[in-house]
Structure 1
């Protein structure tokens, strides 16, 4: 059998532990895609490169493993940038592998090759963690291993490898790749910092914890629970940290971090432990958060340490840091902590209850009731998702995913396809608005072709709903937010995907039936949902690109 550079790509990925690759073929990348035929890798092909990137992102989040994304040169590569930005923001280890123009054209931009860019890798440097350019077949295994290790080095994130067309196609004498090593070590906390953090927590009168996505990625939910109970500390989770702490636990502040009552409570803590969060825009209630006590920050991303709030900073992965703290912190009996948490949640409920938002709460409750506890849900940038960030009980860690990191539209459905490819035994829910859904309609063909068990809930309000609200609030009227759209039920059926138009009253039953059915389904809910009023003192922007 004749082997080429493409075989070195697939062999390298398999040697590093990959089982599934996502992507879309193109002329320069045919050497890689032909090699897939000779490999044991499962290929999940989507219809748009950006959607393939979102699918790879979700697969990486759900499995915690590096996920390859295979695309072609120029337009194909550039189409992945929005998805890679989200992977970077969410610390999802996606390994992009693109083709390049033939070696003779690298770096010149003057040869006139199809898809040629003057400097393709320059387009990715500001988005991914590292870029690796291959110029000969012998470099392929090491370049892919280096990119793999970079993707799994804290903080996790996307990386990029580009390989010229001629290198992929040329017959190679390089022996088959049988073993590659890529073993990054998580950053461990320094002992003196753990000792000081434990001293502060043990002596605190009103300790609190804000848990972010780093807890979920590290698989540190059990350690977080044990530490919170030992220190009797109230716990709030960021939107990226959904599911990191039990929703109904007496110490759970849940995820109402855009609520001023929650912000005030965290500000008043005499010791606040922030773990796995950089306290960015959303997690800091739009930079209005002003803690008055001591802050301890545990963060694997060195650049996020003290980037927004002064702190005792531990550069460490969440799990080993929480393990060390759990061992060092003394028992702190406190019968008032749970009562204080209950009072905050009562204030939140009273505020939401005063805004005539029963419809929104009923819709979200129906989704929660229909969705199995261990099923993954993937949410687009839509009003129901903004509600879910604050109000949805993600009953298990790593089961709720959205695009709040970079905030681009179109994440929900292709991400759900990626999650379904990771575990075909469970249903996956995707939630979109009608505007965001139009980014992903082509992927109904992917779902049908691969028979992926994804139920797509489309909330149809006739436009970009959240932008409509922002513009009406700011300017008194909305512009460019109203959309013509198809009959989503008939459109889904034309792809061979069963679909139903539901009502608020029937939503729970229709969703449950769809989730229990084999293969893909679509549920369309015509409804005009409203966002709850902000309490952080400004315009209440939930992201500058939403639907």
Structure 2
């Protein structure tokens, strides 16, 4: 006799009907009914070693695919360990659907029944991190709750959502028919017509319009509409660090991504109309709030709370791609202007000259070696490390997107996020970490090996927290507590059954290319202290 279907089966059936193919997470006592149901489903499950890394993996999968990605965890400690990673997903608009176990229903609502992992209000801990939280109390609520959560996670601005389900609900037999008819499609965030008309009027009247394209453009797929609009307006385009693929790197109108350079900041500030699309003009996008526009600002943003949060603007609440397409259809095209392309070339030359005046050839050569080794269409995932700070500004994205933990700035993102992307079958994936960040996620080498994921992990070993070392020396003259004892990374990789290569700056391109060409996981270790370019925001 077949075992009865349970609340856990309703979860896996609903996720499959919504389009999920891969889920990430770690089992736990109060979620075992869900993990038992996974045995009877077609979902592929990638088991991490620490919950925060499982959440980073779900984030990487969501960013790489653009699809809502399930994260399955247990109660209390397991759920809470995801919070720092979900802060990154919220800041970077990654649609992660967290399904957490809960204590039995009798322990909900603040009752203190003494269950293992019990919290007074588990969902309250997620309220400031996720877009929404929902507690299921009966199996029949599961399909609609998950469909609503999926829709919320996917809706612009995308982000994480929590659904918590008590242990007894997961285990409870159900006569709800197998789930097939659910729809998680989000409503389109169309801009209001009168705002589009006013924005187009301002742009048409501008002598010197300039565009700053943020991560919302990339996430929304607004690349074509941005190119069409920029060429119609003859408007130079700078991209934020999260939108490096949004505009062609070599285009004559491309200012690229040197947002921490005064030449770029001043050029953006000098526009008589600055169109900011898909960016809230936060610290990194505004050169630490030193970007002070002299003309009008038109800000297109899906996150209502970010409209005019940092500068006065004509705020257009809307999806970046839809709004760009609407604007491109309304503005009056201008003839190609060689003078505009010459202005862009002068800004790019000034940025290059400032770098040339610093003793940074070794750092630039290392980044160039990584770029040359990585196939053009391969994605890369970067931890918060010195080389990533270089890549934010200088990395040429080509056809493979660059992803990083710049949203919340937590350590340990690179490897688990790359594993999540590789689980999507995206081909070869690169992860980049420093030795400090690597220790946050070193356990996930076991995940890489268990699932035989095609991830090459470059660890730049500088013996400490390199960014903090730089910051402290700049601020206080010397660094304190930034130096780290660290393992023999190649030996540690071998202990996990993962091949490794100890490289040098001169061999980096060749060694990294060879690792990327081999199937399965591989670790490449570069012992080197990298310097950072001089800041221009102070």
Q: Aligned residue for 2:397?
A: 394
Q: Secondary structure at the match of 1:216?
A: helix
Instruction: Name the structure 1 match of 2:81.
Output: 79
Q: Report how far residue 63 of structure 1 moved.
A: 0.9
Match of 1:335 in 2: 338
SS at 2:537 equivalent = coil
* 1:212 paired residue number: 214
**CA displacement at 1:178 relative to structure 2:** 1.4
Q: CA deviation at 1:150?
A: 0.9
Q: Residue 109 of structure 1: CA displacement? A: 4.5
CA RMSD of aligned residues (A): 0.9
- Pairing 1:440–2:441 present: yes
**Partner residue, 1:545:** none
Structure 1: how far apart are the matches of 2:240 and 2:352?
A: 18
Aligned to 1:442, the other structure's residue is in SS state helix
Matching of residue 353 in structure 1 with residue 351 in structure 2: no
Q: Structure 1 segments of 4 or more deviating over 3 A?
A: none
SS in 2 for 1:296: strand
Distance 1:423 1:293 in 2: 46
- For residues 422 and 234 of structure 2, what CA distance do their matches in structure 1 show? 38
Structure 1: gaps (5+ residues): 538-547
Is 1:524 the counterpart of 2:525? The answer is: yes
State the match for 1:475 in structure 2: 476
Instruction: Give distance in 1, aligned partners of 2:517 and 2:78.
Output: 36
> For residues 160 and 77 of structure 1, what CA distance do their matches in structure 2 show?
10
Partner of 1:40, secondary structure, is coil
Give the TM-score of the pair, scaled to structure 1.
0.97
Separation in 2, partners of 1:141, 1:351: 57
Q: Distance in 1 between matches of 2:474 and 2:276?
A: 33
Q: Distance in 2 between matches of 1:56 and 1:152?
A: 14
Residues 52-90 of structure 1 show CA distances to partners (whole Å, capped at 9, x for unaligned) of 000100111111111000000000000000111000000
Aligned to 1:44: 46
Instruction: Within 5 Å, give how 1:65-76 maps onto structure 2.
Output: 65-76=67-78
Following TM superposition, by how much is the alpha carbon of 1:108 offset from its aligned partner in structure 2, in angstroms? 2.7
What is the CA–CA distance in structure 2 between the aligned matches of 1:478 and 1:120, rounded to whole Å?
A: 39
Q: 1:512 aligns to what?
A: 513
Q: Secondary structure at the match of 1:401?
A: strand
Give the equivalent residue in structure 2 for 1:181: 183
Question: After superposition, where does 1:194-205 map in structure 2 within 5 Å?
Answer: 194-205=196-207
Q: What is the aligned partner in structure 2 of residue 540 from structure 1?
A: none
Which moved further from structure 2: 463-472 or 196-205?
A: 196-205
**Aligned-pair CA distance for 1:134:** 0.7
User: CA offset at residue 135 of structure 1?
Assistant: 0.8
The residue number in structure 2 matching 1:268 is 270
CA contact (8 A) 1:447 1:520 kept: yes
Structure 2 equivalent of residue 460 of structure 1: 461
The 2-side partners of 1:246 and 1:205 are apart by 23
Structure 1 CA distance for aligned equivalents of residues 529 and 250 of structure 2 = 29
With 183-192 and 275-284 compared, the bigger mean Cα shift is at: 183-192
Task: Indicate if the aligned counterparts of 1:279 and 1:308 stay in contact, CA closer than 8 A.
Answer: yes
Q: Which runs of 5+ in 2 are unaligned?
A: none
Distance 1:57 1:367 in 2: 23
Question: Is the CA contact (8 Å cut-off) linking 1:244 and 1:396 kept in structure 2?
Answer: no
Q: Once the 2 structures are TM-superposed, how far is the Cα of residue 181 of structure 1 from its aligned partner?
A: 1.8
Q: Choose the corresponding residue for 1:309, options 304, 308, 311.
A: 311
Which whole-Å CA distance do the structure 2 matches of 1:120 and 1:132 have between them?
11
- 1:335 CA drift (Å): 2.0
Q: Please state how far the C-alpha of 1:396 moved relative to its aligned partner.
A: 2.6
> Number of residue pairs matched?
535
Q: Deviations over 1:98-138 (max 9, x none)?
A: 00001111123511110000110000001000000011111
Per-residue deviation, residues 179-199 of structure 1 (Å, max 9, x unmatched):
112222121122222222222
Output the CA distance in 2 between the equivalents of 1:107 and 1:39: 32
The reply to whether residue 344 of structure 1 matches residue 347 of structure 2 is yes
